[in-house]
Amino acid sequence: MKSYLVQFAQAHPKFRKAELEALAELYNIPVDLSKHNESIPFLEIKLKDDDQARALVSRAILSKGIYELWGSGTTYENLFKDIREQSQSKFAQYKNSSFKFEFESFKGRQSHEAQMEIMESLSFLGLKGRINLKTPDETFTIFEEYQVYGMEKAHTPKQLWFGRLVQLSERIRNNIVEKYDLKKRSYIGTTSFDAELSLVSCNLAHVQEQRIVYDPFAGTGSFLVAAAGFGALNIGSDIDTRMLSGKDNVNIATNFKDYGTSTQFIDVMTMDFTHNALRSNFVIDTIICDPPYGVREGLRVLGAKNKEKAAGRETNVVNGEIAHLRRDFIHPKKPYELSSLLDDLLQFASVRLPIGGRLAFWMPTANDDFEITLIPQHKCLELKFNLEQQFNKWSRRLLVYVKRDQSYIGETRNGLKELNIKSFRERYFHGFSESSR
């Protein structure tokens, strides 16, 4: 096994390890990530070879790159000694390569002069190739971690690493987070989901090329366009036809066109998820969504609040046709319990996903009443990740489940129903000031 250093992006530290874990599982790479520390953006790991390193990080969103680790130390003197001891045998291989040096520093930085001096000191590597800052054969990076005490700026790093770049991630190589930034997207709405976390959700859900991804609450299609970025074929549905059709000549389909992924857009349809019309043998590899919690959108299903009144309507006739059989008939809708919708979602996933298929969805929870038993469970689905993004008085959690075969015996649980938790919507609009039950 060889040593590598992963450099993380300084974003969503609670999701970084999970993303790598999911990618390792996707590509069948055995790796120990237990040294991960949320407070620093560097992680030493062991892998078989560079191919594994490339596969692990290539499509990551929260990692920036992976480096073959040549040495580490707490001072520059120690670092240089360690490089000589650990990596002398590697020097000859890169002797004639064009190269550049880079610095990646966390919570501090050397002056330009000091950096020049450090690079000069690396002459013992014996690199005789041309320096090429734009397209070097090899990039050698010095990583520095500084310790900050209060407001005081640290001048000397407390930990150093030196590595040869093996693979930059999708985030850096293709600027994917910026590419999918909502500010640059023509069709968005109040429910559009943050691009970075949509992409991370896709990685955790094992979205793959040419596989079918379904978002049953598609809205403006945030997860679908992100999934297309990873090569998936996408289908969505939403009860609100206005969301799907868009406005001013922009809609989900034009977003796909703008990203150059139209061939990966199957379609979206107006449909109540609880009256699902997808044929039962239609293969769905991944379900990924942000269900309606009532904050920016209503949770409604087809049906009449007042059955007697609705029964009267059945005899309504418009232009000689029974009103509810006309194509332009707008079906009545009634409110529905979120807990029941989540039951429906897990049940749907348990039946429609293939073994190993993943369901990923976001669920908001109030911080003062959170109990782990609130997380819904289904006996055929293993909860793989429960990752929290915290806001002031509430959090939203990304829950990722894997469909298991018959030998798996999980529990079925609906915490929202069992604990009789007040609707998230109600608590959100009252500033979480009242009791949750």
What residue ranges bind ligand SAM (CB under 6 A)? 189, 191-193, 216-217, 219-223, 238-240, 243, 272-274, 290, 292, 297, 299-301
Q: Taking the complex as a whole, how short is the minimal distance between the CB of residue 288 and ligand SAM, in angstroms? A: 9
Q: Give the nearer residue to ligand SAM in terms of CB position, either 155 or 242.
A: 242
Q: Give the nearer residue to ligand SAM in terms of CB position, either 55 or 188.
A: 188
Q: Give the nearer residue to ligand SAM in terms of CB position, either 163 or 221.
A: 221
Q: Give the nearer residue to ligand SAM in terms of CB position, either 99 or 217.
A: 217
Q: Give the nearer residue to ligand SAM in terms of CB position, either 183 or 437.
A: 183
Q: Taking the complex as a whole, how short is the minimal distance between the CB of residue 105 and ligand SAM, in angstroms? A: 36
Q: Taking the complex as a whole, how short is the minimal distance between the CB of residue 189 and ligand SAM, in angstroms? A: 6
Q: Taking the complex as a whole, how short is the minimal distance between the CB of residue 433 and ligand SAM, in angstroms? A: 24
Q: Taking the complex as a whole, how short is the minimal distance between the CB of residue 56 and ligand SAM, in angstroms? A: 28
Q: Taking the complex as a whole, how short is the minimal distance between the CB of residue 419 and ligand SAM, in angstroms? A: 23
What is the rounded CA–CA span in Å between residue 60 and residue 45? 16
Q: Taking the complex as a whole, how short is the minimal distance between the CB of residue 381 and ligand SAM, in angstroms? A: 20
Q: Give the nearer residue to ligand SAM in terms of CB position, either 138 or 290.
A: 290
Count CB-CB contacts under 10 A for residue 5: 24
Nearest residue to the partner ligand SAM, using Cβ: 219
Q: Give the nearer residue to ligand SAM in terms of CB position, either 72 or 220.
A: 220
Q: Sign of dihedral through CA atoms 186, 188, 192, 194? A: positive
- Shortest CA distance to 176 belongs to which of 20, 62, 25? 62
